[in-house]
Amino acid sequence: MGVFDLFKLSGKTAIVTGGGRGLGAQIAEAFAEAGANVVICSRKLEQCQEKSEELKSKYGIGSIALACDVSKLEDVKKVVNETVEQFGTIDILVNNSGATWGAPVTEMPIEAWEKVINVNVTGTYLMSVEAGKVMIKQNSGKIINIASVAGFGGTNPEVMDTIGYNTSKGAVITFTKDLAVKWGKYNIHVNGIAPGFFPTKMSKGLIEKGGDKIIGNTPLNRYGSENDLKGAALFLASNASDFVTGEIIKVDGGSSAYA
């Protein structure tokens, strides 16, 4: 197999949660360009439909868009079942759907805490379990969990006063490593990506509030671009990473190197 062939996804099927916009859309595009069929799902179906149609037209791959609240088991089961019905398999799962909430620790409503944990942690668990059942039967699969550099430790409250989000992403990091250990015997690779700051709808408020500090603490002196996550995601989804599991790849412009 040639080196470039290692990165091809022809004949593979991927589910990308939260794939209608932001980082999820970037990952979905990378997979489609590499030849994969892509299932895009989130609570906002219209955005997923637009991205799905764009990928089909641009790359000639198979794609469907589905509504899904990843914190609800019935929604998750529906996505998995419809993916298998449409494409016959699930080779790649990207757990990208996420939620955040900014507030001082003593002022964060319990409802906000529960929402962030339910989407970021429980949603990652439910999607992994249901897609994993398919992967276990076929004795192969790639699961990629989108964590964050905020999950590795504390953050300056002047920039990120988001204790629920940080906690949830720390949980995703540990979940990734533990699931990799437990499912390695099924030839299922479980890895994560920890992005730094990318301009998205979710990060807009943080960037407006602490942009100077963010850039000042990023050695490459810029935010992530619309292409900067594609390479890491494609590597972890493809045969190029067949001896990699339990790993968290930081894509943060070097910001975590200060720690």
Per-state percent for the chain, helix, strand, coil, to nearest 5: 50, 15, 35
| 126: in domain | yes
Q: Which of these ranges, 26-35, 60-69, 150-159, 209-218, has the smallest mean pLDDT? A: 209-218
How many structural domains is the chain composed of? 1
**pLDDT classification of 209: cutoffs 50, 70, 90:** low
204 pLDDT band (50/70/90 cuts)? low
Type of residue numbered 66: L
Pairing of strands 92-95, 141-146: parallel
Rounded Cα distance between 103 and 95, Å, is 25
Among the listed residues 165, 186, 223, 258, the single catalytic one is 165
Residue 74 lies in a domain: yes
- SS3 category, 41: strand
Q: Is 256 inside a domain boundary? A: no
CATH number at residue 105: 3.40.50.720
**Distance spanning both ends of the chain, measured CA to CA:** 39
* pLDDT per position as a tens digit, 156-169: 887 888 999 999 99
What is the rounded distance in angstroms from the CA atom of residue 223 to the CA atom of residue 158? 18
Whether residue 155 is contained in a domain is answered as yes
Query: Which residue, 219, 220, 200, 197, is CA-closest to 210?
Result: 197
| Cα separation, 236 vs 7, whole angstroms | 9
User: Is the confidence at residue 206, as pLDDT, over 80?
Assistant: no
Q: What is the pLDDT of residue 158?
A: 79
Told to judge if 125 belongs to the known catalytic residues of this protein, a careful annotator would answer no
pLDDT tens by residue, 121-154 = 999 999 999 999 999 999 999 999 999 999 999 8
Tokens of 242: 């067949």
| Whether 37 contacts 14, CB under 8 Å | yes
Asked if 172 and 145 touch (Cβ cutoff 8 Å), the reply is yes
Q: How far apart are CA 114 and CA 98, in angstroms?
A: 13
Q: Which domain holds residue 24?
A: 11-250
Is the predicted pLDDT of residue 249 greater than 90, yes or no?
yes
pTM of the model: 0.95
